[in-house]
Amino acid sequence: MSEQRLSVFKTYKLYVGGKFPRSESGRVYEVSDSKNKWLANAPLSSRKDARDAVVAARKAQGGWAGKTAYLRGQILYRVAEMLEGRKDQFVREVAEAEGLSKSKAAAVVDAAIDRWVWYAGWTDKIAQIVGGGNPVAGPFFNLSSPEPTGVVTVVAPQKSSFLGLVSVIAPVIATGNTAVVIASEDSPLPALSLGEVLATSDLPGGVVNILSGRTAEITPSLAAHQDVNAIDLAGVEDDVLAKELEVAAADNLKRVVRPQAVDWSADPGTHRLTAFLETKTVWHPTGSLGASGSSY
């Protein structure tokens, strides 16, 4: 009997606004493993899906940034906890996506989980590292603090379908931004499964939105979107497209992280945290209130 049993395929869906919609376009595309064996049909997102994801990300941004850094840290850690519990699934998906042996895929997934933990610990420390009081020459209290830049479009790395993906999402949301993520075009399945983990990790809907599809089709409208504040071009491998996206991003002066060679297994440093932060400096008189002579 057992060999008679038909396995149950998974219908992969997008993750937008905390929900799992199909592409509004009704399209899918075939996803194969490294040996060209069919794995699943992934949603082929349209530009409309991308715009919907921006709406969801914008809606979620204020609330997410407004949570305490302590709570954001716990929620990021919760993602690591949930991943740990579903490790086998991700090891299988990463092995298939990247053509890795099971043990190598397991090491990649472990590293990705550890990376969530690392970023979970940053949420309530980054302000102390990059902000602080400034010793101005005058009777003023003067404090610089980092703030999220807003909604960030993240083009996830193409080859590193999971560790690379986590390495570009976690720093964006650790600092209070919300993200619209374009998964690896050829290997989107680990990203779409990550959506299921995020949905059960106390992360508010809309903080991370995950789209699969053609990078060249979806990214131009996101790079030009007036309600997107920053764009990480990590996964744009085509130099011509990368340049076009950077030009489009200039239209509302989006913060841009250009594509560059990254060893995703190396210590990530704080670069990707600070790339999506603004610095706000607040001044207030201490004592004398100026010419009128009034004082404390």
Partner 1 sequence: MTSTPSASKAFEYAPAPESRSVVDIAPSYGLFIDGEFVEAADGKVFKTVSPSTEEVLSEVAQASSEDVDRAVKAARKAFEKWSALPGAERAKYLFRIARIIQERSRELAVLETLDNGKPIKETRDADLPLVAAHFFYYAGWADKLDHAGYGADPKPLGVAGQVIPWNFPLLMLAWKIAPALATGNTVVLKPAETTPLSALFFADICRQAGLPKGVVNILPGYGDAGAALTAHPDVNKVAFTGSTAVGKAIARQVAGTDKKVTLELGGKGANIVFDDAPIDQAVEGIVTGIFFNQGQVCCAGSRLLVQESVQDEVLDALKRRLTTLRLGDPLDKNTDIGAINSAEQLARIKALTETGEAEGAERWSAPCELPSAGYWFAPTLFTNVTQAHTVARDEIFGPVLSVLTFRTPEEAVAKANNTQYGLSAGIWTEKGSRILAVADRLRAGVIWANTFNKFDPTSPFGGYKESGYGREGGRHGLEAYLDV
Binding interface with partner 1 (CB under 8 A):
129-130, 134-138, 140, 142, 144, 149, 229, 239, 242-243, 246-247, 249-253, 255, 258, 269, 271, 278-285, 289-292, 294
Q: b/e for 95-113, b at 16 or more Cβ within 10 A?
A: bbbbebeeeebbbbbbebb
User: Cβ 253 to partner 1, closest distance in Å?
Assistant: 5
Closest CB to partner 1 among 77 and 276? Answer: 276
Residue number with CB closer to partner 1 (5 or 284)? 284
Q: Is 7 exposed, middle or buried (0-12, 13-18, 19+ CB in 10 A)?
A: exposed
Q: Which CB atom, from 88 or from 238, has the smaller least distance to partner 1?
A: 238
Q: Give the shortest CB-15-to-partner 1 separation in angstroms.
A: 28
Looking at beta carbons only, is 21 or 131 nearer to partner 1? 131
Cβ of residue 194: shortest distance to partner 1, in angstroms?
29
Q: Closest separation between CB of residue 118 and partner 1, Å?
A: 17
Nearer to partner 1, 33 or 147 (CB): 147
Name the residue nearer to partner 1 (CB basis): 6 or 291. Answer: 291
Shortest Å distance, C-beta 32 to partner 1: 32
Closest approach, Cβ 117 to partner 1, in A, equals 22
